[in-house]
Structure formats: C-alpha cells, structure tokens
Amino acid sequence: MRWLRWLEARYRRDFELLGYEYPPYYMTITEVAMLALVIEAAVPRIMEGPEGRQWIWLAAAVFLSLCHTAGSLLRKGGVSLTAHSIVILTSASLFWCVPAAFDVVPLIVILGITQVAAVTPLRVTVVHVIAYLAVVITAGLLGAIHQAWLIALTVCFGAAVGQLLQNQLLLLRAERRAQASRTALDRAAIAGEVHDVVAHSLAVVLLNVTAARRALESGDDRAEAVDALRDAETQGRTAMKDIRTTIELLRSDSADAAQPGLPEVPELVASFARAGLAVELEQHAPSTALSGTAGLAAFRLVQESLANAVKHAPGARVSVLVGPRPMGRVGIRVSCPVPDGARRAPGGTGLTGMRARVESAGGTLTAGPTDGLWLVDAVFPAETGAGAIGSIEGASP
C-alpha cells in the first residue's frame, strides 16, 4: 500500500537523521504500541467516570499523546529526543492525576525510555533515565502510583534493553565493515595473483613472437620461427591453465593447496631463457625451506621482476640471485641495466603490490635504480643454510 511505503520511508529518514540503521518496522511497532497503550490508559479512566478537573487532565494527556504521534509523522525537521521525553513524562503525569484500578501508564514510561536508549549514547541515556526516575519517584511520593520502586526498576530495565539493541546494531555495522574489508582484500589478492600470472605469460609469449618475427624477417631460419611460435602457443595455454588454477586456489580454504615457491624458480627463469631473455640465475637453497606464504611471495617477486625487465628493458641482461642472508634470512636479488631515458610508467602499482606481498610474508623490499642498474632486493625470514644447487644461463636471441 502507498501509505505503508510512505510510513516506511518516513521512519527510515528518522533513523538516518539519528545515525542508526534500524529496520523501519522497529519504529512502526513501537509507535503502534505507544498509541495502543495511550488508548488503554484512557479507556478505563473514562469508564470509571472522572470528576471535575480530572476530565481536563485526562483530555490533556490524550491530546498531548496524540499530537506527539501525529507530529512525529508530519514534522519536516529533525528528531528531538528531549521533546520526546518531555511529552512522555508530561502525559504520564497527567494520566496519574486521574486514578485508575487498571493502569498501563508505567508501560508508556518504560517504552519511552527504551526508544530513547536505543538511539542515544550512554551518557545521554543516563540523563534521560534520571529524568524518568525523578518523575516516577515523585509520583510515588505523592501517592499517585503504587510500588514506585518497582516501576523505577523497570525503567532502568527498559533503558538497558535500548542500549542492548544499540550495541547489537553497532556490532552488526562493524561486522559489515569487516566483511567489506575482507572482500576488498580478497579482490586485491585475486587481482595481484592474476596480474602476476598474466604478466609473466604475456612477457614470455611476446619474447617468442619477437623471436619468430625476426626469424621470418631474416628469411633464413623458418624452423626457428616455428619453434618460437609453438613455444608461444604452449605458453599461452599454460597461462590459461595457471589462471584457472590460481582462481581455484584463491577460492579454496585449504592450507595445503599447492603453491609455487623457491623450488619452482629455476623452471620459471628457464621459461624466460627459452623465450630469448638473457637471464642468469644463481640459487643457493637454505637448509630450511621458506613458509608457503614467503615462498609464494619470493616466486612472484622473481616472476614480476622478469616480466618488468622484458617490458621496460628489452634486450638487457638480467641477473637473479637467490640465497641465504645474514641472521638466518633468505634474499632474492634481481638486477638489470637501466636503459638510457627509461622512465617509470605513471599510475603503475607493480612495486606497491610487490612490496605489500613481501611485507605480508614478513619480509622487506627495496627497489630502484642503483649504479646504472634497476635493482629489486627482498629479504625473507628463514633459517640459515647454504648449498649451491646450480646455475642457469640464457643468451640473447
């Protein structure tokens, strides 16, 4: 119905002004309950037949309550919780001026403080609670109500319920923010993994395509061109498989899922060498392997560095050094000459992502030009141990 949609939009606006995200039907339920309690408080008093000025007090209480309800729906400005408490306490005091055998006015007071406590900080709630308790205790001392102490306790209980609702909402809001943060981190991880895989594969494919083009242009070695194109095709298919595998690993919660690490670095370097990159690897393995996270970070570091060398320093000789460092750490060092006039492309996030990956694994990274070389140097925590496992060298095509 149209009026229900209007009412929902109205209550949603009120909660937005107060800075809370309660469902609109919360307000609908409390307002309907408040209206029902006002009617239930007035009817028994009318049936018992007020005398003299009691009619005025009763009419004033009903009129004030109804005006407050109508005003909460029709007002154009913000929500005033002080005015809300004043109206609730004034209406309750007027009702108590007319005695009744069956009295639900204490429930009006309790519901009123609950509404306030659900949308105010604790300090503000305490101030309102003091005002409510003052009215209740005064009414009890004047003999307008019985068992004022019990009503005072239930007022405190109503305030506690309101604060609990507020805390629950704040916890839900914090959980949503944490979930959004986790989602953003997951997206960044997926983007980083896919970027590393694609960048490596495209770099190797482009090297092979370049080799094939040169062979065809020279016209004297078609077999070499065919081999280069076949290698590019194979690398492209491998890239598609790697991307699928990477996505599956990122979706998996298994800690034992296979991930590339230091043992796969020689094959990685060899793939670039076969494609024509002049790259040399010297690797000395530590006695204790890196953790899965550090090993993956080290592998991706070499992968990203070689891909960047292909992109920014074509034809340059690249040197990769993997081995132990002082204090029981493992170092990765990738260097290549910086071409004259080479500039870092604006807007790139390669170094930022590389540094974040290394630091997340507990390592440190330095990258930049040093003595005519572009140097990428990372250090990961691991136990000391050295055993030379060989060297791989590839020559330029």
Residue at token pair 């009123």: 112
How far apart are the C-alpha atoms of 45 and 55, rounded to whole Å? Answer: 9
DSSP states of 56-93: HHHHHHHHHHHHHHHHHHH--S---HHHHHHHHHHHHH
CATH for 260-397?
A: 3.30.565.10
Consecutive 10-residue runs of the chain (397 residues): their mean pLDDT? 72 75 81 90 87 89 87 71 90 90 90 91 93 94 89 94 90 84 71 67 71 70 73 72 67 58 86 82 74 82 84 83 84 82 52 80 87 88 50 42
pLDDT of residue 220: 61
CA distance 44 to 182: 57
The pTM of the full predicted model, rounded to 2 decimals, is 0.55
Q: Which amino acid is at 322?
A: V
Q: How far is the first Cα of the chain from the last one, in angstroms, to the nearest whole number?
A: 76
Residue 279 in contact with residue 306, Cβ under 8 Å?
Answer: yes
| Cβ–Cβ under 8 Å, residues 234 and 201 | no
CB of 332 within 8 A of CB of 365?
no
375-387 CB burial, b ≥16 within 10 A, e <16: bbbbbbbbeeeee
pLDDT at 125: 93
Residue 372 C-alpha from the chain's centroid? 42
Phi, psi dihedrals of residue 274, rounded to the nearest 5°: -60, -30
Q: Report the pLDDT value the prediction gives residue 141, as an integer from 0 to 100.
A: 92
Please count the other Cβ atoms lying within 10 Å of the Cβ belonging to residue 308.
23
Tokens of 331: 């170092």
Determine the pLDDT at residue 257: 53
Domain extents in the chain: 2-146, 260-397
Q: Is 332 helix (H, G, I), strand (E, B) or coil?
A: strand
Give per-residue burial for 34-70: e unless 16+ CB within 10 Å, then b: beebbeebbeebeeeebeeebeebbeebbebbeebbe
Is 33 in a helix, a strand, or coil?
A: helix
- Return the ∠ at Cα 303 (arms to 299 and 309), rounded to 5°: 145
Which of 145, 151, 146 is CA-nearest to residue 129?
151
pLDDT at 287: 57
- Residue 121's Cβ-side half-sphere holds a number of Cα atoms within 13 Å equal to 2
